[in-house]
Amino acid sequence: MTSPFSLQTRASGLLLHPTSLPGGHGVGDLGPAAHRFAEFLAESGQAWWQMLPIGPADAWGSPYGSSSAFAGNPLLISLDRLAEEGLLAREDASPAAAAPVWRADFARAWRIKEPLIRRAFRAFEARPRSGERGSLEAFLEENAGWLGDFTLFTVLKQRFGASSWADWPPELRSRDHAAIQRAREAHGEEIRFLSFLQYLFFRQWAQLREHCRRKGVGLIGDVPIYVSHESTDVWANPGVFRLDAAGRPEAVAGVPPDYFNSNGQLWGNPLYRWEALRERGYDWWIGRLRAAFRFFDATRLDHFIGFTRYWEVPAGAPTAKEGHWREGPGADLFEKLKDALGSLDLIAEDLGAVTEQVFALRDRFGLPGMRVLHFAFDGGEDNMHLPRHHPPRCVVYTGTHDNDTTASWFGKRPPHEREFALRCLEHDGSEIHWAMIRLAFSSPAGIAVAPVQDVLGLGSEARMNHPGTLHGNWAWRLREGELTADLARRLRELTRATGRLGGGAAG
């Protein structure tokens, strides 16, 4: 699907992950609330809906710990849509009485949804062969390159429980051909169901994307640079990653110590064998971004600095302090991506330990970088996050999913920082969230994005993520009716006043 949206057009948007949408089944999904949010974006003059990675989340609900770089999160499948298609009875899609409404509960949501989706699967299987069955067969064929590995990996994960795939029987760990075939045959029915889940996700996503397109709203996705060791990607492509003979990482990813963290950050993801990828023409990365562009009109490339140099930590090291810098693939990778994919509709997350090499790589391929207003007021007049230093080719955020909400953030700033911010804002501090959104939208930056929590002026209870922690993240949800017509009018007027109205495909 060729995108009609352009990162070159002055516009604005909102950041909201689909799991944060309202609904009655324990977690937001791709159903009616998602379509209504697209309509709110259009009514408020927003051209972009930005979200986090949409793959299967990890046990803590983190979209950055996915078991696949290619699959969709089945929790996002809408029961309402299945009822509309006759695969479920209307009463099956009624709001679940036990479902939490204001916080996402991923485990409970799946306990609600899974048996009902299995019922829909049985109904689908019982239908006479039709165009719909042909659509499923076409989906299976089109996605055979990753779907077979993903469904088998998921089945084996269910079979062996919480253990790492590196602890599986050697023939499965090393993907012995005969053992893999026996496993596929033994678990054929469950594999068909898991394939059906992905078919439903892709179909409902296509419906949502088409609705957004008709409303003039483009979608911005998110691709983390690294993948989880406990993923199909690593198990099925061991030659792409720095693994030992037993399938365990030889070295892992992280970031070095800095002013805020004397131990650095130990992420634990396996690192890439960039030399092997270069010899293969970076085929895995080409496939990964091709998949992302299938879902999104533009994509944020997380930890962009890791493509110029990356922090390598020996496996088993207690902290990231024991790491060292290694050279990344740099322009060689992006030349191959451009040759294979054409236009690179990417946003470079160029935050952190940036160097001139990072900026040079970003600019060589014409990628917009990122600026975050929460970082603008603690470094003096030359701080690159201050709007006066924003180039047109960048995306400015009030805050990101890793930041506190603006209302809470401002209240926690030291006095000198608050005073500097108020001078820059030319503001008295009332409705600080709107003052910061206005500052972002007034910026020279080509694209301006605000989290929905900031539009609503919410406090720290609505924060999406506390980096470095596992529990209590990713759970905030929008309440039904919070995005009012008055709010849409106020946001649209700000968008018009700052020259960002009309940046969507529908104008």
Q: Do 250 and 318 have their domain in common?
A: yes
Instruction: With H, G, I as helix, E, B as strand and everything else as coil, classify residue 180.
Output: helix
Q: What is the dihedral sign for C-alpha 300, 305, 308, 312?
A: negative
DSSP-based helix, strand, coil % in the chain, nearest 5: 45, 10, 40
Query: Sheet harboring 298-301: ordered strands across?
Result: 346-348, 298-301, 218-223, 48-50, 11-15, 447-451, 394-397, 369-372
Catalytic, out of 222, 302, 350, 404:
302
Q: Do 168 and 281 have their domain in common?
A: no
Catalytic, out of 39, 43, 85, 402:
402
CA–CA dist 454, 480 (Å, integer) = 17
Beta-carbon contacts of residue 45 (< 8 Å; ≥ 6 apart): 12, 491, 492, 495, 496, 500, 501, 502
The answer to whether position 174 is within a domain reads yes
Q: Do 161 and 136 have their domain in common?
A: yes
Q: Which of 309, 338, 368 is the last residue of a domain?
A: 368
CA–CA dist 317, 193 (Å, integer) = 40
Task: Report the pLDDT value the prediction gives residue 507, as an integer from 0 to 100.
Answer: 41
402 is catalytic: yes
Q: Inter-axis angle of helices 331-341 and 283-295, to 10 degrees?
A: 50
Nearest CA among 150, 334, 280 for reference residue 227: 150
Q: Do 210 and 245 have their domain in common?
A: no
Q: Which of 368, 400, 424 is the last residue of a domain?
A: 368
CA–CA dist 425, 421 (Å, integer) = 6
Give Cα 321 distance to the centre of its chain.
28
Q: Do 360 and 493 have their domain in common?
A: no
Q: Do 236 and 205 have their domain in common?
A: no
Task: Report the pLDDT value the prediction gives residue 429, as an integer from 0 to 100.
Answer: 86
The answer to whether position 130 is within a domain reads yes
Question: Using an 8 Å Cβ cutoff, are 28 and 113 in contact?
Answer: no
Q: Token digits for 38?
A: 């697209």
Question: Using an 8 Å Cβ cutoff, are 387 and 412 in contact?
Answer: no
Nearest CA among 411, 460, 416, 407 for reference residue 434: 407
Query: Sheet harboring 309-314: ordered strands across?
Result: 265-270, 251-255, 309-314, 324-327
Beta-carbon contacts of residue 482 (< 8 Å; ≥ 6 apart): 456
Catalytic, out of 58, 349, 404, 454:
349
Nearest CA among 453, 481, 405, 402 for reference residue 16: 453
The answer to whether position 445 is within a domain reads no
The answer to whether position 448 is within a domain reads no
Counted domains in the chain: 2
Exposed (0-12), middle (13-18) or buried (19+): which is 162, by Cβ within 10 Å? exposed
Phi-psi region of 9 (alpha: psi -120 to 50; beta: other; left: phi over 0): beta
Q: Do 100 and 197 have their domain in common?
A: yes
Q: Do 172 and 286 have their domain in common?
A: no
The beta-strand segments (E) located in 158-294 are: 218-223, 251-255, 265-270
Q: Do 276 and 214 have their domain in common?
A: no
Domain harbouring 88, CATH code: 3.20.20.80
283 is catalytic: no
Q: Do 192 and 266 have their domain in common?
A: no
Q: Which of 368, 394, 419 is the last residue of a domain?
A: 368
pLDDT truncated to tens, each residue of the chain (507 aa)?
556 789 999 999 999 999 999 999 999 999 999 999 999 999 999 999 999 999 999 989 999 999 999 999 999 999 999 999 999 999 999 887 666 678 999 999 999 999 999 999 999 999 876 777 889 999 999 999 999 999 999 999 999 998 999 999 999 999 999 999 999 999 999 999 999 999 999 999 999 999 999 999 999 999 999 999 999 999 999 999 999 999 999 999 999 998 668 899 999 999 999 999 999 999 999 999 999 999 999 999 999 999 999 999 999 999 999 999 999 999 999 999 999 999 999 999 999 889 999 999 999 999 999 999 999 998 789 999 999 999 999 999 999 999 999 999 999 999 999 999 999 999 898 999 999 999 999 999 999 999 999 999 999 999 999 988 888 999 999 999 999 999 999 999 999 999 999 876 544
Domain with 338 in it: 225-368
The answer to whether position 433 is within a domain reads no
Q: Do 90 and 145 have their domain in common?
A: yes
The answer to whether position 186 is within a domain reads yes
349 is catalytic: yes
Q: Which helix (H) or strand (E) holds 196?
A: helix 188-214
Q: Do 59 and 143 have their domain in common?
A: yes
The answer to whether position 460 is within a domain reads no
CA–CA dist 234, 157 (Å, integer) = 14
The answer to whether position 3 is within a domain reads yes
Task: Report the pLDDT value the prediction gives residue 470, as an integer from 0 to 100.
Answer: 85
